[in-house]
Chain A
Amino acid sequence: MRNLSERAQEAKDKKAAIGPDVDLSSYTAEPVRHDYVEDLKKIPEADRLRMIQSGIDASENGRSGTYIQMDTAVVHSHARQEGLEVIPIKEALKKYDWAREYYWKLVSVDADKYTAAAELHLHDGYVIRALPGAKAVWPVQACLYLDKENISQYVHNLIIAEEGSELHVITGCATSPHLKRGLHVGISEFFVKKNAKLSFTMIHHWAEEVMVRPRSVGIVEEGGLFLNNYICMKPVKSLQMYPTTHLVGKGAVARFYSILVGSPGSEMDVGGRILLKAEDTRAEIIARAITNGGKIISRGDLVGEVAGVKAHLECKGMILNGGIIHAIPELQGKVDGVEMTHEAAVGKIAQEEIMYLMSRGLSEEEATSTIVRGFLSVDIPGLPPKLKAEIDRAIDLSSKDVM
């Protein structure tokens, strides 16, 4: 096999299949120096506040580990629980042979110019791993932070739940309050081994001129469960991603949940693809999109390749105050005996519901925000209650801005 950098070189100008093209040369990829901090409380308050809004708690209450990267530099990385590992990826690739067994194994380095650039300019990223049988009590938190104006951040993450383990990751991507323009490219590869359980919750908190191109692929083995939650309720210039997961072992389950709020000037093109390749596998993709004037393309694709699999796709959109919601749900059944359904709806807030709540004493504004809040609240089975509370809190914080 030709080496990775050769393949990346060849693909460095290859446009992505979907989403507006980004001129990578208009951003700087030069490493930026930020000192490592032992004590998270030493992170400036303004930055800490931004991190809190994307689920990162500097006091580490209820966390089993932390990884923080500012621009191109790792500023903190450690695990607080036996059986969990949190390691910067460059260090992992240098020190441990096993890291190479996961690196670029699911995402193709030459998929497009973004994957190629992530190999050519790698600015670190995290490896989070639960050892066989380890059960994380609390989620590991990871933050990828943009601080320097006009930076392009290229990161690569590996998330590995070994056999029989349970791992929860909450990852927040945010920008410093002053940053206007930037680019984030994040490669993520998820490995859920036999009978392991992984929940991965990503909260994005970008700025109005930031371009975002995540590329992620997961694999779930026999009896494994992968919950993938994504929340982006803040402005972003352009976000395009189409995370894909392969269910390869008997009884593997994947559930994707996403909550998107599109502000004026934002374009979000977010999909989810799950390939059901083994018997008794189950998949669910649930998306909620609200636009206040932004453009949201909500894609979903379920591919049933074996008889007896079950999959459901649900995409609901609400246009509050102008904007576009384009729902593209797709189902591909490739054999007899698959059971696959989808449900898509785009609408507005029903006046009848507003008045019903007003007749119970709420003002029109309160009634509207109550309905929006309800629309965005999705029951996610299998999520630890604490993490669910965390997600609810993030949604509450953000939904105040929606109105």
Chain B
Amino acid sequence: MLLIEDLQVKLGEREVLRHIDLQINSGETHILFGPNGSGKTSLLMTIMGYPQYRVTAGKISFKGVDITNMPINERAKLGIGMSYQRPPTVHGLKTKQMVQICGSGGDVDIEGMAARMNFTDFLDRDINAGFSGGEIKRSELLQLMAQKPDLLLFDEPESGVDLENISLIGNTISELLQRDVHPSPDKSQRQVRRERTRMGLIITHTGFILDYVTADKGQVLFNGVLSCSNNPTDIFMCIKEMGYEECVKCAI
């Protein structure tokens, strides 16, 4: 479980998150909506542990451990992973090596995973060097497949992805979050759902991802405040019809 209590965060001198309360239970996936600059990425970066996002009050716990001041790599080891929107290029570090790092040097079927992500040709290229928007997304997912975190943070996983690859991206995220449906002879679908452990928090602008990934809750972040929590599809419809400002009035 991820539990965020009354979290306040500053980036430089600017307050970017105010009084955030958020609970993601084991097996739950939440969708995070919000206009540009509302603090969505800040929330993900704070959960991941980027030190420039300074926690001035409140607490973040994960799996019962207070991680508020924990370094990034220890959070990763505890099971938090992130798919970045614009990750940096690391020159001289091949994608293959990066995937190996994600798998903590263990036995990872890099070739097999890359083939599934239609990414084999990129394994020998420097990570993120000259990658298009869609290529970055596929590379990030490939890394998360090797890393196998329990809490997955997705920063706009569908942005810049062409139509051809959107279902690949969507279905892979669904699979990573144990949301894919396939018949099981000895278990009811209810039991399959109950056995879900992976947690997800997905930022989306377009809502396209909702066509592929089922989610338990939608959250709307507006001016640094979590303003609304509801069924994700309802929220998305509301935002589409009336815009964020009207939509968050339900909470204010």
- Chain A interface residues toward B at CB < 8 A: 350, 352-353, 355-364, 367, 370-371, 373-378
Contact = CB atoms under 8 A, between A and B. Distances in A.
Contacts of A370: 90, 93, 101
The secondary-structure label for the interface of chain A is helix
Contacts of A378: 92
19 contacts: A352-B88, A353-B90, A356-B84, A356-B88, A356-B90, A357-B90, A357-B101, A358-B71, A359-B48, A359-B75, A359-B81, A360-B76, A361-B73, A361-B77, A362-B73, A363-B73, A364-B71, A367-B73, A370-B101
Interface of B: 48-50, 71-73, 75-77, 81-82, 84, 87-88, 90-93, 98, 101-102, 104, 126, 143, 147
Query: Interface centre among B50, B73, B84, by most A CB within 10 Å?
Result: B73
A362 B76 CA distance: 9
9 nearest CB pairs, A to B: A374-B92, A374-B93, A358-B72, A377-B92, A358-B73, A361-B76, A352-B88, A360-B102, A353-B88
Residue with the highest number of chain B CB atoms closer than 10 Å, among A361, A362, A373: A361
Contacts of B126: 374
B216 to A, nearest CB: 25
Nearest to A316: B91
Given A355-B50, A356-B84, A356-B87, A362 B92 contact: no
B91 A359 contact: no
A350 B128 CA distance: 15
Contacts of A374: 90-93, 126
Contacts of B92: 373-378
Contact of B101 (A355, A362, A377): A362
With a 10 A CB-CB cut-off, give which of B76, B84, B88, B102 has the most chain A CB atoms.
B88
B79 to A, nearest CB: 10
Contacts of A359: 48-49, 72-73, 75-76, 81-82
Contacts of B104: 361
B69 to A, nearest CB: 15
Contact of B93 (A350, A364, A371): A371
A378 B93 CA distance: 10
Contacts of B48: 359
A194 B50 CA distance: 57
Contacts of A350: 88
A285 to B, nearest CB: 18
Contacts of B90: 353, 356-357, 370-371, 374
B93 A355 contact: no
Nearest to A370: B93
A360 B71 contact: no
A104 B88 CA distance: 50
Contacts of A361: 73, 76-77, 101-102, 104, 147
Contacts of A362: 73, 101
A350 to B, nearest CB: 6
Given A357-B101, A376-B92, 20 more contacts: A350-B88, A353-B88, A353-B90, A356-B84, A356-B87, A357-B90, A359-B72, A359-B82, A360-B81, A360-B143, A360-B147, A361-B77, A361-B101, A361-B147, A370-B90, A371-B90, A371-B93, A373-B93, A375-B91, A377-B92
